[in-house]
Amino acid sequence: MSERQTATMKNLPLQEMPYEKCWSSGAGSLTDAELLSIILRTGSRGEPALDLSRKKISLAGQEGLLGIYHISLAELTKIKGIGKVKAIQLKCIAELSRRMAKQQAGRSLVFTDPDTVADYYMEDFRHEEQEKLLLIMLNSKGKLLGEEVISQGTVNATLISPREIFLCALRYHAVSVIILHNHPSGNPQPSQEDLVLTRRVRESGELLGIELLDHIIIGDHQAVSFRKEHLV
């Protein structure tokens, strides 16, 4: 770092000090609010970017930066100092983070390993405010043929028919399937409806020669695999 750069950094206003901190100690040394202030670059009249960032972190609640994922664009623009452009920037940061986490998990994805499957789909499902059921279809070598959302809303045996699950699986010529859904409450423990649905899908699959490899329920940073729990 040159003397000129050092002098320039030291002359930054107080609200811009995160730049100097990042330069000298790395991005990992910054607080959530400091990271956001650098991304947003400017605040509003009478409110520095760092103060504005702290306000957004507070709005996001206990989840901190991850809470931004759940705040709508309309809600963000209601914050003083956040216009359309800054709101879009924030939502794009949240989406980029989700995609990076998924790509990282994808490096170790093995469909016969429930933990890697749960890790891979975690960021897609744990933020959902409604239950969503995904059908994952595999060939004889356990490779992905395709995936389709079968249901969105309440996932239970009374609303989801094994027929629609296996019609989809047959279109892909699947040899085995995994069903995966989320619990918006964050608790992935199976309900009675989950157990009934799993049993019906497993029994129907046995008749058709399509194995139900697993049923995975996603919660908030936790998951339950029926295969690991010996429920399939």
Residue 111: name the closest of 30, 220, 216, 219 by CA: 216
Tell how far CA 75 is from the center of its chain. 20
Q: What is the pLDDT of residue 154?
A: 66
Sign of CA dihedral 115, 118, 121, 124: negative
58-114 residue pLDDT tens = 655 545 566 676 778 888 787 777 788 888 888 888 778 778 877 776 677 899 999
Task: Name the residue with tokens 């800054």.
Answer: 86
Residue type, 19: Y
b/e string for 110-125 if b means 16 or more Cβ within 10 A? ebeebebbbbbbbbbb
Instruction: Please say whether the structural domain 109-225 has been given the CATH code 3.40.140.10.
Output: yes
pLDDT digits (tens, 9 = 90+) for 18-73: 778 888 888 888 887 787 777 776 555 545 656 666 665 565 554 556 667 677 88
- Give Rg (Cα) of the chain: 23
The answer to whether 168 touches 137, Cβ cutoff 8 Å, is yes
